[in-house]
Chains A and B, each alone.
Chain A
């Protein structure tokens, strides 16, 4: 057991991978609670997939991937917001069309003869290959994202409980939602470096699914989701060292198992 935990610590690659998943888990876990509570899971998945063309273009141009991811997430979010406004189609269908289009465009670019090899890495991530810049981006996300979650806390609670009541209080539920989406977009753009385009969703949803039915308070749920995201990330990295499995996929699988366990356990009953 000790070897299982200590193995990754013995190499520089392992230590960096652990640091990356700990940082991402600490901020993405609490954020996941809001994503699931505000029913933004689908929007989050859409953002993650929608940024693929941006990342591929950055990779082709030799620009920092974070820049490409940020640009991609902005364009993707803008297109989704535009398409979702059309009530004739319905926001889910519109999002589906935009996201499939973006994913297709990204794959097309990545598979072009001139493209570098890395489509697989962009899709599935590689926590073992994180650069210093990725770690710095994750640390900035922890500080800035954490501060934003603290500052928005009361507005988020009021908006999620009932948007109509929140607007009667003079709040702007649409703005609060937009701020949350902005945070999600930032988290996706940063986390996608380590966990990849497809697997990033695990850290942004699974921790909340695992703790949601068992928490008595919002803060408790956020804290629990954060701890679980960190533990799941570390377990995934350790497992990948132990079994030689792909690190990103191992992290995603560990988090998904935690979600399954949390959903399975009987819910906490009140007084």
Chain B
């Protein structure tokens, strides 16, 4: 197995000030990784380092090919007159020829990607008129059109409706089966169990390994501190992290 993502001793931050240190992990093709951590814990910073937006202050980052990155949706403009199809089509831009209109093959790929996220019928609907969960799915479709071997999804399940959440989660398995490496950040401790590997971040790397080894009470407490509520001490640790949303 080749490493799709390899991070060694990463230190990353803004304006020369590190907000994330001591991160070392690897992810092979065809595997899924859940990145857990509180707000400000460094999840987005890690992703920005992986897509080469933030040069590492120390250590190294290696990604096999340009990853597809789905950032949090709040940053998109909702008053802009583009359709769901227009947005999905943007996924073909990295293939070059940006100065020409999209090709028929690109349009078909975009429609197929919208189909995979259950929004083919909504292809012509204005992006800003979709629900938050549907918009998240359109951005996911855009990433699918990129056809990248590595996908980074930043909190794809935050604030989405249950139907969208289910649809998005079911895609994780499909993408793994296609041999892609998938990194998903979340604050949902329970959903982390469904991934092959878990990386816990709280300004530094707290733990990395399979969920059964990582998701115990001491690790979760070290990850979330006072934001953690432990539901049940019997058997595997069940816990909820309280999320304070920052906008």
Contact = CB atoms under 8 A, between A and B. Distances in A.
Given A154-B90, A169-B94, A162 B83 contact: no
B87 interface: yes
Sorting the interface of chain A by its residue count into under 10, 10 to 19, 20 to 34 or 35 or more gives 20 to 34
Interface residues of B, number: 31
A217 B83 contact: yes
A265 interface: no
Interface in A137-155: 151-155
Given A155-B93, A215-B81, A271 B53 contact: no
Interface in A154-190: 154-155, 157-158, 160-171
Contacts, number: 77
A37 to B, nearest CB: 6
Contacts of A118: none
Interface string B78-92: 001111001100110
Q: In terms of DSSP, what is the predominant structure of the interface of chain B?
A: mixed
Interface of B: 51, 53, 66, 68-71, 75-77, 80-83, 86-87, 90-91, 93-94, 98-99, 101-102, 125-127, 129, 139, 142, 146
Nearest to B94: A170
B71 A37 contact: no
A220 B129 CA distance: 18
Contacts of A167: 51, 53
A168 B71 contact: yes
A270 B93 contact: no
A270 B126 contact: yes
Which 3 pairs between the two chains have the least Cβ-Cβ distance? A168-B69, A151-B99, A162-B76
A270 B70 CA distance: 26
A155 B81 CA distance: 15
A162 B76 CA distance: 5
B51 A271 contact: no
Contacts of A218: 80-82, 86
A165 B66 CA distance: 14
Contacts of A163: 75
Nearest to A271: B125
